[in-house]
Chain A
């Protein structure tokens, strides 16, 4: 089927998410809580667009809106600009330390409201990607805690979590760099826990935390690796060479 995005005809299959269709067709819609490898959440609301369907025009979140019927989409209508501007302004007040939010605010002309109360030393925008990544991975070491304006992300009772494997996936998917990961040559500290790093037996580069590699081995049934990605690739290539020499 065909839908129209900002006047351009775009083909899509029914049920496909609007954000996918738009990115495939070269439209850039800002997102914060979206990650291609994780289920859609629809919580940051910066990807809002206006959809005109029959005689109704609605604001929807592109990341989780399934296109079921032919419609016209406006990614930058006045209504979208105004509401997205307010959402970004609210996010800036809640995470004034985040460079990514400042960048988006500038890019999308978010109005500056000096009247808004700023949170001190905050980068987290509670998008939930870290929790989703941790859960999808199977560790479920962190979760959202409390509700409403008291909501935060943390480990159970804010104590070092036994379930945490120190993989730092949470930090990798975080759009604002709000999760602190400290790493030196032998250890990694995250979520108030220190993890020993497995160093590559070949080149000495860190491969991952011991907990993380054991977790991966348990899950996949493949023996725990002691090679970094690069050396692993090299090792496989070497094997291939000897395979042909034989």
Chain B
């Protein structure tokens, strides 16, 4: 039987050395005798999503997945083909039993892969791979449909934009199609900027043709002859594969002067984003493509009417476009069978933070946060208590543990002060300080605001100063009320969605973790033991076994003590970084309130 060895070559696995693993596997295959009886093909694929366990190698069709593979494992893997699998490279489930297939792996078995259907299965640089899995069949179908029929199909699917705002995709297309001003444009937003989010990058890197197919179908429906993929400069691999996909599609007659011989044309090009977070905002992105400073404009006239160069423009997110071929192929009605009431289909999330299994996951909309964290993520690392889940990027909110049964869909999250955003999801344990988390995000937004309008630029500057004061023990009575008052001005009077949503981390923090703010302001105490100015660490001598872990982790040499005897922290040398507490396996290091000036 012929075997295919799939080596994950997403950015995460490449960083872990997967290119070397692929090379070692190639060498091992050419050197071993298995070559004579087994035809083995190595394929470099896109991201499998379970990056923390990379590099990931899969043997098909046996469906055996190996994790954390090193080049030295190559020979063992090649020798095992058709024989007994290499046990130490298999993933062990929650019971400690090694599992062969991804379908038995708890990280994958609870997922529902629709957008990520091809990723990890195909070589993203190979058009034939995509075609072999039914690629561009939706485009072929769409070419025999009227623009109106295409839009009706998208409308009936209930698809909403995956970039964050959740605007109905079909309605956007219908509006743009209704205007007669030519030329019209189609834009794919690949300027993913949320810290910790990598959904769009993985799709562009792992299955670029599915995005192109969605864009071409959109262009046909609205009558656009030109389109752009705006991809941030840091996404080197994504850009490379998208460029290649455009080139290959053009060479194959799928894109360009005559789409699949239909006589209809579309010219697509890649625009490199310069790295400003605000350029992910649709109107700032268009300004950037036009060569102007990336600042948003007021949306009193929608982009569907006056967008790029003031012409009718449809701008959708990468993930939104990747859904389109599925909708056209399987009908909009079928698409509605998955998902929640007003949020149809699946959503890809980047599940990260203090969770046992982190990575890229795709689930039907409407599943609960608890399901994501516990079933897919396997709960919190070291079994620590879960405190909150930060969702929706820097302008999202922190959802407390008590509300984890909330369904993840566009409307539920907004009602509770958070937002779906583009799908970043950060799990936090009891050692996360909610004031510091808010300060971190407000700092990010203050730096990444375009600075054009007063409330956003000046409001964030003041909010950051107040939050920094609170974290450093200079908080004052009335600070919370002032933060709320500034927030109201931002929400009401900011020019774009960045400013309007920027207070979310602060507002949800004050709403759900008010006690923690009060403790910082009134008692000068950080209950989580994070804010260095308010925290000291001490070692409980009755619990410490003298393992020396903390002593070795301490960056300032503040921890003293001999092996097998209780350790001690010299407070004068301690900078309260918490490294000792992080490494202690016995719970002997405790955070206490700092009693002296820093």
A151 & B451 in contact (Cβ 8 Å cutoff): yes
The CB with the most chain B CB atoms within 10 A, among A45, A84, A150, is that of: A45
A113 & B492 in contact (Cβ 8 Å cutoff): no
Contacts of B446 in A (CB 8 A): 148-149
Of B133-141, B253-261, B458-466, the segment with at least 4 beta carbons within 8 Å of chain A is B458-466
B298 & A90 in contact (Cβ 8 Å cutoff): no
Contacts of B356 in A (CB 8 A): none
Give bound CA distance, A93 to B278, whole Å: 25
Give bound CA distance, A1 to B531, whole Å: 59
User: Does chain B have a CB within 8 A of A189?
Assistant: no
Q: Count A-B pairs with CB separation below 8 Å.
A: 111
B465 & A117 in contact (Cβ 8 Å cutoff): yes
B298 & A117 in contact (Cβ 8 Å cutoff): no
Give bound CA distance, A21 to B457, whole Å: 29
B298 & A148 in contact (Cβ 8 Å cutoff): no
Interface residues of A in 26-66 (CB under 8 A from B): 41-46, 48, 59-61, 64-66
Contacts of A125 in B (CB 8 A): 454
B458 & A43 in contact (Cβ 8 Å cutoff): no
Q: Which of A48, A66, A144 contacts B451 (CB 8 A)?
A: A144
Q: Which residue of A lies closest to B293 (CB)?
A: A144
Give bound CA distance, A230 to B349, whole Å: 70
Contacts of B24 in A (CB 8 A): none
Give bound CA distance, A103 to B445, whole Å: 31
User: Does chain A have a CB within 8 A of B227?
Assistant: no
Give bound CA distance, A46 to B454, whole Å: 9
Give bound CA distance, A80 to B479, whole Å: 23
A149 & B447 in contact (Cβ 8 Å cutoff): yes
A150 & B300 in contact (Cβ 8 Å cutoff): no
B451 & A86 in contact (Cβ 8 Å cutoff): no
Q: Which residue of A lies closest to B301 (CB)?
A: A66
Give bound CA distance, A223 to B458, whole Å: 47
A45 & B493 in contact (Cβ 8 Å cutoff): yes
A91 & B298 in contact (Cβ 8 Å cutoff): no
Known: A115-B466, A148-B447, A149-B447. A90 touches B454 (CB 8 A): yes
Contacts of A84 in B (CB 8 A): 493
User: Does chain B have a CB within 8 A of A210?
Assistant: no
> Number of residues in A with C-beta < 8 Å to the partner?
38
Give bound CA distance, A125 to B93, whole Å: 58
Of B242-250, B390-398, B482-490, the segment with at least 4 beta carbons within 8 Å of chain A is B482-490
CB of A41, distance to nearest CB on chain B (Å)? 8
User: Does chain B have a CB within 8 A of A166?
Assistant: no
Q: Which residue of B lies closest to A44 (CB)?
A: B454
Give bound CA distance, A82 to B485, whole Å: 9
Digitize B152-194: 1 where CB-to-A-CB distance is under 8 Å, 0 elsewhere.
Answer: 0000000000000000000000000000000000000000000
User: Does chain A have a CB within 8 A of B448?
Assistant: yes
B300 & A66 in contact (Cβ 8 Å cutoff): yes
Digitize B275-295: 1 where CB-to-A-CB distance is under 8 Å, 0 elsewhere.
Answer: 010100000000000000100
Q: Which residue of A lies closest to B495 (CB)?
A: A42
User: Does chain A have a CB within 8 A of B552?
Assistant: no
A149 & B461 in contact (Cβ 8 Å cutoff): yes
CB of A77, distance to nearest CB on chain B (Å)? 11
Q: Which residue of A lies closest to B459 (CB)?
A: A90
Contacts of B485 in A (CB 8 A): 86
Q: Which of A65, A86, A94, A143 contacts B486 (CB 8 A)?
A: A86
Known: A45-B493, A86-B485, A149-B447. A64 touches B298 (CB 8 A): yes
Give bound CA distance, A66 to B452, whole Å: 20
A45 & B449 in contact (Cβ 8 Å cutoff): no
Give bound CA distance, A116 to B488, whole Å: 16
The CB with the most chain B CB atoms within 10 A, among A43, A61, A79, A93, is that of: A43
Digitize B421-452: 1 where CB-to-A-CB distance is under 8 Å, 0 elsewhere.
Answer: 00000000000000000000000011111111
CB of B165, distance to nearest CB on chain A (Å)? 16
Known: A86-B488, A87-B455. A147 touches B462 (CB 8 A): no
Give bound CA distance, A46 to B493, whole Å: 9
User: Does chain B have a CB within 8 A of A126?
Assistant: yes
Contacts of A147 in B (CB 8 A): 276, 278, 447-451
User: Does chain A have a CB within 8 A of B478?
Assistant: yes
Interface residues of A in 120-155 (CB under 8 A from B): 125-126, 128, 143-144, 146-151
A90 & B462 in contact (Cβ 8 Å cutoff): yes
Contacts of A48 in B (CB 8 A): 492-493
A148 & B451 in contact (Cβ 8 Å cutoff): yes
Contacts of B297 in A (CB 8 A): 42
Q: Which of B458, B476, B478, B488 contacts A94 (CB 8 A)?
A: B458
User: Does chain B have a CB within 8 A of A83?
Assistant: yes
Q: Which of B298, B448, B449, B489 contacts A87 (CB 8 A)?
A: B489
Contacts of A65 in B (CB 8 A): 298, 300
Q: Which of B449, B455, B493 contacts A149 (CB 8 A)?
A: B449
Known: A115-B476, A115-B482. A45 touches B453 (CB 8 A): yes
Known: A90-B489, A147-B276. A43 touches B459 (CB 8 A): no
A149 & B457 in contact (Cβ 8 Å cutoff): yes
Q: Which of A46, A60, A91 contacts B300 (CB 8 A)?
A: A60
CB of A69, distance to nearest CB on chain B (Å)? 12
CB of B465, distance to nearest CB on chain A (Å)? 5
Contacts of A44 in B (CB 8 A): 453-454
CB of A81, distance to nearest CB on chain B (Å)? 12
B448 & A148 in contact (Cβ 8 Å cutoff): yes
Q: Which residue of B lies closest to A128 (CB)?
A: B452
A90 & B453 in contact (Cβ 8 Å cutoff): no
Known: A82-B488, A83-B488, A147-B276. A93 touches B451 (CB 8 A): no
B482 & A126 in contact (Cβ 8 Å cutoff): no
Known: A59-B493, A83-B488. A91 touches B458 (CB 8 A): yes
CB of B290, distance to nearest CB on chain A (Å)? 14
Give bound CA distance, A50 to B462, whole Å: 25
Digitize A200-240: 1 where CB-to-B-CB distance is under 8 Å, 0 elsewhere.
Answer: 00000000000000000000000000000000000000000
A64 & B300 in contact (Cβ 8 Å cutoff): yes
B476 & A126 in contact (Cβ 8 Å cutoff): no
CB of B280, distance to nearest CB on chain A (Å)? 13
CB of A143, distance to nearest CB on chain B (Å)? 7
Contacts of A87 in B (CB 8 A): 454-455, 489, 493
Given contacts A45-B455, A90-B462, A149-B460, 10 further A-B contacts (CB under 8 A): A41-B452, A42-B453, A45-B494, A61-B493, A66-B301, A87-B455, A91-B458, A143-B293, A147-B450, A149-B449
Q: Which 4 pairs from chain A and chain B are nearest by CB?
A: A151-B451, A86-B489, A90-B458, A148-B449
Query: Which residues on B are within 8 Å of A, measured CB to CB?
Result: 276, 278, 293, 297-298, 300-301, 445-455, 457-462, 464-466, 476, 478-479, 482, 485-486, 488-489, 492-495
Q: Could you list 14 A-B pairs, sorted by A, with CB under 8 Å?
A: A43-B452, A45-B495, A46-B454, A60-B300, A64-B298, A86-B489, A87-B455, A87-B489, A90-B459, A93-B458, A94-B461, A147-B447, A148-B446, A151-B457
